[in-house]
Amino acid sequence: MQLMVPHPLLSQLSELLSTQMGLYYPEKRLADLERGIISAAPALGVGSPEACVRQLLSGTLTRKQVEILASHLTVGETYFFREKKSFTVLEEHIFPELMRTCARANRQLRIWSAGCCTGEEPYSIAMLLDRLIGHSGEWNATILATDINPIFLQKAAEGLYGEWSFRETPAWIKERYFKRRKKGQFEILPHIRKRVTFSYLNLAEDAYPSPTNDTHAIDVIFCRNVLMYFSPVWVQKIGKNFYQSLVNGGWLIVSPVEVSGRLFSQFKATPFPGSILYQKTQKRESQISEAEYPASASDPVPNASCMPAAALTQVSFFQDEGISFSPKHIQTRASSAVTSAHAQPAKAQHIEIDPEHPEGLDTLCRTARSHANLGELTEAIKWCEKAITANKLNPAAHYLLATIHQELGQGEIAAQSLMRTLYLDPDFVLAHFALGNLCLSQGRHREAERHFDNALALLHAHPHDELPLEADGLTTGRLAEIITSVRTSLSRSTPKI
C-alpha cells in the first residue's frame, strides 16, 4: 500500500506514540497508523495528514491531543462477561477468599479495571460481586475503571448498551441487571452503575500507584486485551507499576494471549482451570513455567466464530486443478526458513534466545518445523510453545502451532490457535483461509464463505506476485485463484435460503 505520509515521518510518530501513549505501531502497521491519523486530522484542526504528523512531532503531546488520538487509534471491542473462565475462577476462588480477608481486616475490597473500554468489564465485575454478596450482606467494595479514550469513558458512564454487548452472555444477566430502552438498547440498573467509578488514565504515564487517582492498595487489577497493543518494554514497565499498585496477595488478571512469564516475572503465576492468574507474593517464589500451562490448550479465544465439536478433518479442494497438496499441506509448509526434513533438530537446553531478537524467535520456529517434518509432533509443539513464551504477540508462532495441532487431529485446539493468530494480526491471510477450510469441513458453509471472502479481500489489496506470510512460495495471485475456485464451488453447493 502506498503511504500518503512520508515513511520517515510515520516512523518518528510511531516512536512518539510509544513513548507518550504506549501505543505500538511496528513497521508492518504503519499503514494502520496513517489511517488513524487521516481520521484524527480534522479533530486536531489540521488540514492534511502530513501536516498533522508534523504538528504532532513538533513537541510533547498535549492532554487534548492524546485524547483525540486515543479516540481514533484505539478500537473498543468487548462484551459482558468476556472470557468466562476468568470470571468462573473469580467467583469460585478469588473473590470469596478476598471478601473474607477484607472482612477480617475491616476494609473494602478494591478492584481496578485498567483499560475498561466502554464499561462492560467493570460492570460485569459489579454484577458478579452483587450475586456473591446477595441480599444478606453489605456492599463493601470499590471498583475503579480507567481508560485513555474519553469517548469510551463517556459511553461507559451512560450505561446504555446494544445487543452486541451481550453476545455469549447468559440471558438472565440482561433480565436481572438491565432495563429495556428504545432502539434496542438496554440500560444497566442504577444500583450496579453507582458501584463503578470511571476515570481517565494513561497507562504509559507514571501516575500510578498513587492515592490521588485511587490506584494504590488494590486487591485485583484487570488489564485484559490491553497490553497486547504495547511494546514488550512498555508491558514490563506497566507490569512493575501494577505490582506496586497491588497489596500483598493481590491479583493481576490479563487475557490468555497476554500471559507471559517473562513480562510478568515479578508475579507468581498461578494456574486455574482454563486460566493463569498472577499473584503478588511477599517472597519472589519460583515461577511456574509457561510451557507447563500453554494458553493454546484450553483458554478461551475472543470472538471465535466457528469452534468445531469434533476433531478437524482434512479436505482437499485442489485435485481438479492438478494441485497435489491439501490446505493442510499449504499450512504446514510454513515460512521462509523451513529446514530440510533431514535436518537434525536442535537440543532444547542448548538454545538461549533474546526474546527481543527476531533471529532467536526464528530459530525456535524453525526448530519446531524441523521436528514436525520428522513427524515428531509432540516435540514440535514444545518448541512452538517456547516461541510463544518468548513472544506471545507473534502471530506466526500461533499459526504454526495451529497447523501442528491440526496434524494431530486436535481440531478444536487448532481453531483456537488460528483465532489467536487473527486476534494478533487480522490481516493474516492463511489463517482466514485455514478457518474457512475448518468451517467447511464441519458443514458450516456460511461461516466458511465469510472466512474465504476475508482472505480474498486481503489478497486483492496486494500485488499478484507478492508472497504472503507463511505461504512458502505461493504467490498472492495464485492463492487468490485457489480460494476463488473453492469459494465458487462452495456457492454452487450452498442451499439458497
- Mind listing the domains of the chain with CATH numbers? 7-73 (no CATH), 84-293 (3.40.50.150), 304-493 (1.25.40.10)
d(C-alpha 250, C-alpha 226), whole Å: 20
How many other C-beta atoms can be found within 10 angstroms of the C-beta atom of residue 245? 21
pLDDT value for 197 = 95
pLDDT value for 290 = 38
| DSSP assignment of 207-271 | --S-GGGT-SSEEEEE--SSGGGB-HHHHHHHHHHHHHHEEEEEEEE--GGG--TTTTTTSEEEE
Q: What pTM was estimated for this model as a whole?
A: 0.58
Contacts of 448 (CB under 8 A, 6+ apart): 306, 436, 437, 439, 440, 490
Contact in structure between 291 and 271 (CB atoms under 8 Å): no
Mean pLDDT by 10 residues, the chain (497 residues): 82 90 85 90 90 92 89 82 92 94 91 95 96 79 93 93 91 94 93 94 85 90 88 88 94 88 88 89 50 34 30 31 34 32 39 52 80 73 87 86 76 84 88 83 81 88 72 69 76 55
Q: What is the H or E stretch that residue 192 is in?
A: helix 190-193
pLDDT value for 495 = 53
pLDDT value for 472 = 54
Cell of 309: 465439536
Distance of CA 228 to the CA centre of its chain: 6
pLDDT value for 348 = 39
